[in-house]
Amino acid sequence: MFESLSQRIRAAVDKLRGRGRITEADLKATLREIRMSLLEADVNFEVAKNFVNKVQEKTLGQAVLESLTPAEQILSVVYEELVEMLGGEAKQPLLKNEGNLWFMVGLQGSGKTTTSGKLAHFYKSKGRRPLLVAADTQRPAAREQLRILGEKIGVPVLEVADGERPETTRARLQQHLTFDYRDLVIVDTAGRLQIDQALMDELAQLKQVMGPSETLLVVDSMTGQEALNVSKAFDERIGVTGLILTKLDGDARGGAALSARYVTGKPIYFAGVSEKVEGLEPFYPDRLAQRILG
């Protein structure tokens, strides 16, 4: 999905290749082009600025400019900074031997329910015993969607009732776990089309009562800068421990997703790469950076 970004960054750096000597002005022109291509890919303004400043700091030294292969050296600094921007080391959500309770939060349409199923499938294939909880107390259709997904992947689904109180959900979950041992409970919480106070209050209350060990925010990477505002709002109100970016297979400008880690300060754990239940990959900053730089 980052093809045009990738082409543009390489084209900018390629202009420096084969030159005898690179001046500070050449370097600055290249960095300007890189900045423009980041912005055009919808990377957040601050992030792009900061990124280019860092590359500049590390390359302006005469050693780089006067080296035999300045373009390669600049490219390698761009790579390092891209990895850094995407979060550095790959991170995984905390997974204890048992008692894992993960909340899935996000806007309706972000891919929350699909991702809940994908995660259950992913960890089941690693020998875990997941349980899905369909916790949307207002939309029976959302619960049904998860039930169908659960049947498909062979993972049980506990459904809340319309208007069910958080205490009741907690009690029903505990009861379920006494007769059906599960070591990873994934709660698909209610989504709304926009952030609204009622949704946030309801979520905050459910979270307080259930005490999840991880709160994973599902972010649609096609929604551009708006995705970042959503992420900030969820984090401020609910408290988020990590991000899952969905629809990274789409061909829209995905730069907002590239800024998600930087803007929210939360690690990106997984990326959704198709509609299929297998379409979830652990997020590796270095691999994505390599892909972008070809």
Residue 281 in contact with ligand GDP, rule: CB under 6 A: no
Q: Is 274 in the site for ligand GDP (CB under 6 A)?
A: yes
235 is in an annotated binding site: no
Distance between CA 248 and CA 262 in Å, rounded? Answer: 17
Using Cβ positions, the residue closest to ligand GDP within the complex turns out to be 272
Enter the tokens of residue 169. Answer: 């959900």
Judged on CB neighbours under 10 Å (0-12, 13-18, 19+), 162 is exposed
Q: How many residues does the chain have?
A: 294
CA distance 50 to 109: 31
Q: Toward ligand GDP, which CB reaches closer, 111 or 242?
A: 111
From the list 11-19, 30-38, 154-162, 266-274, the region that binds ligand GDP by CB under 6 A is 266-274
Residue 88 is assigned to a ligand binding site: no
Applying CB under 6 A, does 247 fall inside the site for ligand GDP?
Answer: yes
β-bridge mates for residue 192, sequence order: none
Give the range of 43-51, 52-60, 161-169, 269-277 binding ligand GDP by CB under 6 A.
269-277
8-12: long-range contacts, CB 8 A cutoff, minimum separation 24: 8/33, 8/34, 8/36, 8/37, 8/40, 9/34, 9/37, 9/78, 9/292, 9/293, 10/293, 10/294, 12/37
> Judged by CB, which is closer to ligand GDP: 171, or 195?
195
Interface residue with ligand GDP, options 100, 114, 169, 215 (CB under 6 A): 114
Under the binding rule (CB under 6 A), the answer on residue 121 touching ligand GDP is no
In sequence order, the β-bridge partners of residue 104 are: 188, 216
Nearer residue to ligand GDP within complex by CB, 112 or 182: 112
Give, in degrees to the nearest 5, the angle at Cα 3 between 274 and 293: 110
**Annotated binding-site residue? 65:** no
Count of residues near ligand GDP by CB under 6 A: 18
User: Tokens standing for 1?
Assistant: 């999905």
SS3 65: helix
How far is Cα 102 from Cα 110, in angstroms, rounded to an integer?
Answer: 17
Which residue, 34 or 199, is less far from ligand GDP as judged by CB?
A: 199
Q: Which of 126, 93, 106, 103 is nearest to 269 (CA)?
A: 93
Span interacting with ligand GDP, options 63-71, 77-85, 153-161, 246-254, rule CB under 6 A: 246-254
Q: For ligand GDP, give the closer residue by CB, 57 or 144.
A: 144
* Binding piece for ligand GDP, criterion CB under 6 A, among 65-73, 154-162, 224-232, 244-252: 244-252
19-78 residues near ligand GDP, rule: CB under 6 A: none
Site string for ligand GDP, 175-204 (x = CB under 6 A): ----------------x-------------
Residues that bind ligand GDP (CB under 6 A): 106, 108-114, 191, 246-247, 249-250, 272-275, 279
Residues of the binding site for GTP? 106-113, 188-192, 246-249
